[in-house]
Amino acid sequence: MSVRCITQVLDLSQHAGTELLMLVVLADYSDDDGNSYPAVASLARKCRMSPRNANYILNALQASGELRVLKNEGPKGTNRYRVMLKALGDLQPLKATAPLKRAAPLKATAPTPEAGFSKPLKPTSDEPSLNRQEEKKRTRVKAALTSLPDDFEISERVRQWATTKGFADFLDPHLEHFVGSVKASGKRYADWDEALMNYVRNDWGDVRKRALAANGGGRSHLNADEQFRGAI
């Protein structure tokens, strides 16, 4: 490495950008007279470019007069590069050179598990996993359940339904049995009208069965829904 050569290149070269970088790298390899024998691959690696681009820049530097390339005059037939120190600063200003050729694009790396997905997976995902979604869904359902209201009674909705189905005569005894069962078990429901209708429909506690037995088993006043309760 020649500090003298590097200093002269930095102070006097008319080049800039990657061409100046290449000349500084050559000066780093050089002796005080500007002679060096690096391989093109080594120059390309230090300049962070491809060997093809390095050759293009070396030709441009040689054409400018600030570098001389002596083919096969280095050790073991390598090229000898000579930074023309005496010419630095004495040359006419350079015309703009043609833009550097674009280096070959990097090859795509092996696909990761998330390649091809519009939304990333794992901890970086914006949306919760399916398990989290199911957990939230269960939480919402659980939160919607309520205890038996203190003033719970047969609503107009339930009475209309019972009249349509032929259960109107059994609503009051069913309500009493339903409320007692819920209080004893501590059950919670999201819709208390639906819970009562289901209770009546399926004759839980055999309320309707016992009432009919007490009446002598008569069923003439019941509609088809009651007669075929198992199909409801």
User: Which of 177, 184, 141, 168 lies closest to 223, judged by CA?
Assistant: 168
| Phi, psi for 55 (deg, rounded to 5) | -60, -40
Read off φ and ψ for residue 51, nearest 5 degrees.
Answer: -55, -35
Question: 60 to each of 57, 97, 102, 162, how far by Cα in Å?
Answer: 5, 8, 16, 98
pLDDT at 224: 41
Residue pair 172/196 in contact (Cβ under 8 Å)? The answer is no
pLDDT for 221? 47
Q: What is the DSSP string of 43-67?
A: HHHHTTS-HHHHHHHHHHHHHHTSE
Where along the chain do the CATH 1.10.10.10 domains lie? 3-87
> CATH assignment of 3-87, given 3.40.50.920, 1.10.540.10, 1.10.10.10, 1.10.3470.10?
1.10.10.10
Question: Sign of the CA dihedral 159, 162, 164, 167?
Answer: negative
CA distances from 130 to 134, 135, 141, 142 (A): 6, 8, 16, 18
State the Cα torsion 39-43-46-48 to the nearest 10°. -120
Strand partners, 36: 81
What is the CA angle 18-19-24, rounded to 5? 95
The pLDDT assigned to 78 comes to 83
Angle, helices 192-201 vs 171-185, to 10°: value is 110
pLDDT of residue 182: 86
H-assigned helices in the chain: 3-12, 17-29, 40-46, 51-64, 130-144, 156-165, 171-185, 192-201, 207-214, 224-227
Identify the pLDDT of residue 140. 61
232 residues of the chain, pLDDT tens digit each:
778 888 888 888 888 999 999 989 988 998 888 899 888 999 999 999 999 999 999 999 889 898 989 888 778 778 889 888 777 766 555 454 455 556 566 566 555 554 454 555 555 555 555 566 676 666 565 558 888 888 888 889 989 988 998 888 888 888 888 888 888 888 888 888 888 898 888 887 788 888 788 877 554 444 445 444 443 4
**What one-letter code names the amino acid at 194?**
E
